[in-house]
Amino acid sequence: MNKDQAIEKIKKCLRLAKSANENEAAQAFKHAQALMREFGVTDIDVEMSEIIEASVKIPVAIPKWQFILFEICERAFGVDGYIYRSRGAVIGNVTGHQMAHFRFYGMSPKPELAAYAYEVLLRQLRAARREYIATKLKRVKLAKNKTYRADEFCLGWVATVYRKVEKFAVGDEEQQKIGIYRNRLNLTRTSKPRTINASSSAKRAGYDDYAEGYDKGKDAQLNHAMSGAESKRLGGIQP
């Protein structure tokens, strides 16, 4: 039995320790204490075992609208998150490519729901972005201008969704556990969104692109693939 397995066993014993049968409760509590001593498990370790992470892959150079989409899902499911960067395996003398992920963390199963919601909304936004580029931006020649204007469209889209999302209330005990977990992560690095050096004319046109995205964001859908209780956390996002 490893430490993680021991923690699960300890949690089971602690649940039994609440039994109405005094003898059974005493034996379960005694067994939990013995396991904690044997595997070096603390009370905090047991509490932190309730916190899980769920990860979604993101570009190394992250656009601002993708940050906001991440925040939307944090807000909707009462979780926190951070960006994790790593490199792939080294093959010979060649270092692997840099990779990046958004990681949601919180009380199970909320991070998994947040990651799922993120991926569902991201697919819809990417489809809307492709369509917008193919129709409204097809005459834009410079790649940097096209990217800038498409990003403005996406910013408008996520702004609509953000306004519609109902913030999930998190209790004091849960907030405390998430705070302890956050401190354990010891996060020091922050990430800045990518910037596009677009032309002045593209930036002026970007106001209209944002407005188009804001209007298109009203079509965002989520509850067709989630249960009623889960989709309610993203209140206004309905088919």
Per-residue pLDDT, 187: 80
Residue 227 has pLDDT above 70, yes or no: no
The answer to whether 181 and 51 have CB atoms below 8 angstroms apart is: yes
The confidence band for 166, taking pLDDT boundaries of 50, 70 and 90, is confident
The confidence band for 4, taking pLDDT boundaries of 50, 70 and 90, is confident
Per-residue pLDDT, 90: 57
Residue 199 has pLDDT above 50, yes or no: yes
Portion of the chain with pLDDT greater than 90, in percent:
49
The answer to whether 36 and 42 have CB atoms below 8 angstroms apart is: yes
Residues 6+ positions from 153 with CB-CB distance below 8 Å? 128, 129, 132, 209, 210, 212, 213, 216
What is d(CA 167, CA 155) in angstroms, rounded to the nearest whole number? 20
Per-residue pLDDT, 229: 55
Residues 6+ positions from 68 with CB-CB distance below 8 Å? 155, 158, 159, 162
The two structure tokens encoding residue 68: 């906001």
Residue 222 has pLDDT above 80, yes or no: no
The SS3 call for residue 105 is strand
pLDDT in tens, 85-110: 887 655 555 556 788 999 999 998 99
Residue 58 has pLDDT above 70, yes or no: yes
Residue 53 has pLDDT above 70, yes or no: yes
The confidence band for 239, taking pLDDT boundaries of 50, 70 and 90, is very low
Q: What is the pTM of this model?
A: 0.80
Helices 110-135, 64-77: crossing angle, 10 deg rounding: 150
Residue 236 has pLDDT above 50, yes or no: no
Per-residue pLDDT, 224: 45
Q: Among candidates 193, 229, 219, 231, which has minimal Cα distance to 116?
A: 231
Average pLDDT of the chain, as a whole number? 87
Per-residue pLDDT, 91: 58
Residue 158 has pLDDT above 80, yes or no: yes
Per-residue pLDDT, 233: 52
- For 60-73, what is the mean pLDDT? 94
The answer to whether 129 and 231 have CB atoms below 8 angstroms apart is: no
